[in-house]
Structure 1
Amino acid sequence: MRWSHGSVAECFSGRNNSLGILRLSLAAAVVVSHASVLGFGDKEFGYHFSHGQTDLGKLSVYGFFVLSGILVTRSGNRLPLGRFLWHRALRLLPGLWLCLAVTAFVVAPFLYWRQQGGLDGFWGHARGPWDYLASNWAVAPRQKDVSGVVATAGESGLAHSPSIDAALWSLRYEVLCYIGVALLAVTGALARARRVVLLLTAVLGLLIVRDAVCDPFWAGFSDSDYYANIQFFEVTGRFDPDTVLYLAFAFALGSVIELYRERVPVSDVLGVASGIVLIGSLRFGYLFVVGLPAFAYLLLWLAIRLPAPFRRVGARHDYSYGMYIYGFVVQQSLVAVGFARWGFWPYLAMSLAGALAAAVLSWHLVERPAMRLKNLGSARTSPPKAGGGTAGPVPEAAKVPEAMAPGSGKDLVGSGNPV
C-alpha cells in the first residue's frame, strides 16, 4: 500500500480533483450550521464542542478561504493584472447582484405582503428595496433589512438575526485578499520572491500565537466591537481587524501551498494526522495555531485523494457560491412564514433544498454565462497541429477552476461568536 503519492505539483495540476464536492459540502455546512440559530435560536453546531472557538459555519468559512488562497494565487500568478481582476469580478459580482435583486424585488415583497396583507408602504419605505441595492451593491452589506420584513418577523419571536442575508458579510474580506494577491503579483513576489508570501504568513501566524498564549480557546473575533472598526471607504463597510487577521491567515495558508506545491508532499499519513489534529484542537484548544494549518492540509489531501466518483461532483457546475449567498435568504424566509415551527429536520431539509434550487438557477442563468466572458478581448492563438493546420482555440493553462470563498452570517443574535 502506498502512503506517499508525490508532491502537490504532481498530483494537483488539472481538473481531476474533488474541489467541487468540497466547496459544495462547505456551503451546505454553512446552511446546516445556521439552521439551529436562525430557526430555533440555539448555538450553531460545534460551538460547545470547541468551547466557543468556532462552529460548523465559521469553520466552513475558513475552509473556503484556504481553497480560495490556493486557486486565486494560481490565477494571480499566471494572469496579467487586468485580466486577473476581470476574472475575479466576473466570478463574484454578477451572482451577487442577482441575489440582491431577487432578495429586494421578489423575496422581500412577498414577505411584506404576507405580513401586511398588501404592499402599501413597501416601495416607499425609508430602507426599501432600492436603498438595499444602493447600500449593498459594492460587496459590503451596509443595509441588513428590506422595508422591515425581518424586523416585523422578529416582533413575533421568529427571527434570530436582524439581517435578511447576513451571509454576504465575508465577501469584502475575500475581495481584500484578492487585492493582496494583486499587489503581490504586481511587485513580482508571486513569481520571483515567494519567500515574501511565506514571511507574511509567518507574521500572521505569530500574531495568532500571541492571542492563543493568552487564551487557548481564543475565538478569533467577536461581534461586540464589530461596527467600531476600520473603514477605508464608505462603500467598503467596516473591517474588523481580528477578522482580517484570521481569514487572511487561512487564505495565506492556501497561497503558500500553491507557491510551494513542488515541496508539499501528498501523504495519506499526513492527511489522517491532520484530521486528528484538527479534531483535537477543536476540543482541547489552540485551534487557530495548529488546527487551521491542519485543516488546510486536510482539505488539500481530500481534494487529491477522494475516490474518482467524488470528482464528478461540481466538475462542470459549481453551485457552492449560489448555495452560500442564497442559503441565508431562504432560511430567513422559511422562518418568517412559520415553517420553522414544523421542527428542525423539516426546516433543515427545506433550507437545503431551497438553497440548492436557487444556486442551480443562479449558476445556469447568471454565473456560468458571466464566466464565458472571462476571455473577452484577449487574443487566443492556436498552435499548429502535427502535419499542418491549426488545432482550434487553446484553453488557459491552468485547468483548476477558480474559487470563490463564501462566508456565513456575522451578526446572528444568540449564536455566541458567529461568523
Structure 2
Amino acid sequence: MSFESLPRQREQNHFNLIRMIAASSVIISHSGNLSLSWDTPDPLYSLIGIDLGATAVLAFFAISGYFISLSFERRTSNSAFLLARVTRIIPALLVVSLACAFLIGPLFTDHPLGAYFSDESVWLYPLKNISLVGILYAIGLPGVFMHNPTPNIVNGPLWTLLFEGACYAGLFLIGVLGLLRRERFAVIVLAWAPAYLIIRYGPWPQFRYFAVFSLPFVVGVAFYLFRASGIRNGRVALVLFATAFALIVTGHGVQELWSVAVAYCVLWLGFARAPALLAYNKLGDYSYGTYIWGFPVGQVLAALIPGIGVAAMIALSLPLGVLCGALSWFCVERPALKLRNLGDSPHRQAATTA
C-alpha cells in the first residue's frame, strides 16, 4: 500500500488524491466493525459483495509497485533507497504507536494504571510495530477497549504494513540482482507466479496475504517497466473492471481478476487527464497518517459514545481521522523526509526524486 512520497512530477498525476480516497475508504469500511460488531460487513460488501477496505488496500499496493520501482531506478545508492523507505514508514508509525500505548491506553484501560504500566506488552507495543515483523502480534493493550463492539484491538489496519515491507524487500532484491528491467520482467513473473500459487492456495492460510497483496504490487511494477509501451489504456480498464465487477456481483468472482482490475484501473486513473483535480496536490500527503490513525480514532469514539451508529461513526471518525492525518504529515512525516538527504551532496540531493 504505497504511502511513498511521490516524485517531483506528482503535479501531473492524481495519486495523492486516490490514496486519500483509499485511506478514507478504509475508515468507512471499519465503521460497522467499530460501532456494531467485528463481524459486521462493511457498507459496500453489504450492497454488492465487495469489501471496500480490502479493495482500497489493493489500490495502495498497485500504486506502491509503480512508485517504489521508480524510486529504486532513481536512487542515488542502495542505502539511500532503504533510508527513504524507513523515513517514510517508521517515524509516523512510531508516533501513533507511542500515542496508543502511553496516551490512549491509560485513558481507556479498565486496569489500574499501576498494573497497566507494569505489563511488558505496553512497552513492547511500539517496538513490535516499528519492527514490522512483530506487528501481527501487537494487536491489543491491557484492558484497552475491552467493552467496545470490537474489543481489545487498538489499531487494526497496521498489520498490512508487514506485507508492504515484504514487497519493498522483494523489489529491492530483484533490483540489486539487475532484474528490474522491462526485458527481464518475464524472469520476475516466472519466479513469482509459482510462489504466489503455493502461498495463496497452499496449506498455510496465515501466509496467504503475502500472495494476495503481491499481485497488485506486481501489476504496478509492470506498469512502471512498460510505461512507454502504451500499457495504460482506458478501454482495457473499462472492460477489465466491468468484467470483474459483473462476476463478483453474480457470485462468480475470481479474486485474482478483481485484484488485477482494481490495480489496472487505479494506475490508469492516476495518470488520467483531469486538470481540475491536480489542485489537490497542493494540500499535502495525508493518506498515511489518515490510514494509521483512523482505527484508534474510531475506537475512542466507540468508547466515548456507547451505541454509536454506523452513520454517526463515519460522520465523526472520517473528519477526525483526516485531521490526524494532516497533523501527522506536517508534524512528523514531512520533517522525517528531510532525513533522506542527510550526508548527500547538493548535487545528489537535487537528483533525489523519491
TM-score range, shorter chain: 0.7 to 0.9
Higher relative contact order (CA 8 A, sep 6+): 1
Three-state SS of the structure 1 residue aligned to 2:113 is: coil
Q: Check the 8 A contact 2:62/2:267 in 1, yes or no.
A: no
The answer (yes or no) to whether the contact 1:197–1:256 under 8 Å persists in 2 is no
Gaps of 5+ in 1: 1-11, 212-220, 227-239, 383-392, 403-419
What SS is found at the alignment partner of 2:12? coil
User: How much has 1:48 moved relative to structure 2?
Assistant: 4.6
Task: Mark the CA change 1:14 to 1:56 in structure 2 (over 3 Å): closer, same or farther.
Answer: closer
Match of 1:256 in 2: 222
Structure whose residues are more often helix by fraction = 2
Question: In the alignment, does 2:104 pair up with 1:107?
Answer: yes
- Larger C-alpha radius of gyration, 1 or 2? 1
1:212-258 residue CA offsets vs partner (Å, 9 max, x unmatched): xxxxxxxxx99xx76xxxxxxxxxxxxx3211111111111111111
RMSD: 2.7
1:266 aligns with 2:266: no
Query: Deviation digits for residues 259-306 of structure 1, max 9, x if unmatched?
Result: 111123433322332331232233233332322212111101211115
- Which residue pairs with 2:117 in the alignment? 123
Which of 24, 37, 56 in structure 1 is aligned with 2:33?
37
The code of the aligned residue for 1:199 comes to L
How much identity, in percent, do the aligned residues show?
26
Which residue identity does 1:307 align to in structure 2?
A
Aligned length: 340
Identify the residue that residue 199 of structure 1 maps to in structure 2.
190
Corresponding residue for residue 150 of structure 1: 145
In the TM superposition, 1:2-401 aligns within 5 A as 15-41=11-37, 42-48=40-46, 51=49, 54-79=50-75, 80-112=77-109, 115=110, 119-125=113-119, 127=121, 129-139=122-132, 140-141=134-135, 142-151=137-146, 153=147, 158-191=148-181, 193-200=184-191, 202-203=193-194, 240-284=206-250, 285-305=252-272, 307-315=274-282, 317-339=284-306, 341-381=307-347, 394-396=350-352, 398=353
CA distance in 2, matches of 1:22, 1:100: 25
TM-score by length of 1: 0.74
Measure the CA separation in 2 of the matches of 1:132 and 1:265: 43
Query: Distance in 2 between the 1:350 and 1:275 partners?
Result: 32
Shift of 1:183: 0.5
Query: Is contact 1:204-1:249 (8 Å) kept?
Result: no
Cα contact 1:26–1:63 (8 A) shared by 2: yes
**For the structure 1 residues 374 and 134, does the alpha-carbon distance in structure 2 shift closer, same or farther, using more than 3 Å as the test?**
closer
| Distance apart, 1:167 and its partner CA | 1.1
- Ranges in structure 2 where 5+ consecutive residues have no aligned partner: 1-7
1:198/1:256 contact within 8 Å kept: no
